[in-house]
């Protein structure tokens, strides 16, 4: 009973992750600017990679046909999701700051630039 509940919860989380992945890819293709694409890419990384890994961890705890090695799968998936939750936003922030400082992408659909008043890069 509890294994069926864990499997259904894990499959639901994996399906939510696939939805976020698709939305992130579509936003990365359709949005007009680098800084708006950054939002879509971070949504695709957090919602599309962290959530399915947590779902796979729960799924592996519930799926008893995988044998005793399923605990290894659950632990590795959980560790991957926690590390990725720390790393994805750090990488996006580093790339955005470097692009703003080196002026590598156009700022075209913009209304107000707060970083320009505080100085270069806002550090």
Q: What is the distance between the alpha carbons of residues 51 and 7, in angstroms, rounded to a whole number? A: 15
Give helix 2-30 / helix 51-62 axis angle, nearest 10°.
Answer: 160
Q: What is the distance between the alpha carbons of residues 4 and 61, in angstroms, rounded to a whole number? A: 10
Positions that interact with another protein (CB under 8 A) = 3-4, 7, 11, 14-15, 17-18, 21-22, 24-26, 28-29, 34, 37-38, 41, 44-45, 48-49, 52-53, 56, 59-60, 62-67, 69-70, 72-73, 76-77, 79-80, 83-84, 87-88, 90-92, 94-95, 97-99, 101-102, 104-105
Closer to another protein by Cβ: residue 4 or 110: 4
């Amino acid at each position: 009973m509890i294994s069926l509940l864990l499997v259904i919860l894990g499959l639901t989380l994996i399906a939510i992750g696939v939805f976020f992945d698709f939305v992130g890819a579509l936003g990365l293709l359709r949005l007009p600017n680098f800084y708006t694409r950054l939002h879509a890419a971070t949504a695709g990384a957090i919602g599309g990679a962290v959530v399915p890994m947590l779902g796979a961890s729960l799924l592996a705890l519930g799926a008893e046909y995988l044998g005793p090695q399923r605990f290894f799968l659950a632990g590795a998936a959980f560790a991957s999701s926690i590390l990725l939750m720390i790393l994805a936003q750090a990488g996006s922030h580093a790339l955005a700051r470097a692009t703003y400082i080196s002026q590598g992408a156009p700022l075209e659909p913009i209304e107000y630039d707060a970083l320009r008043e505080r100085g270069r890069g806002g550090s």
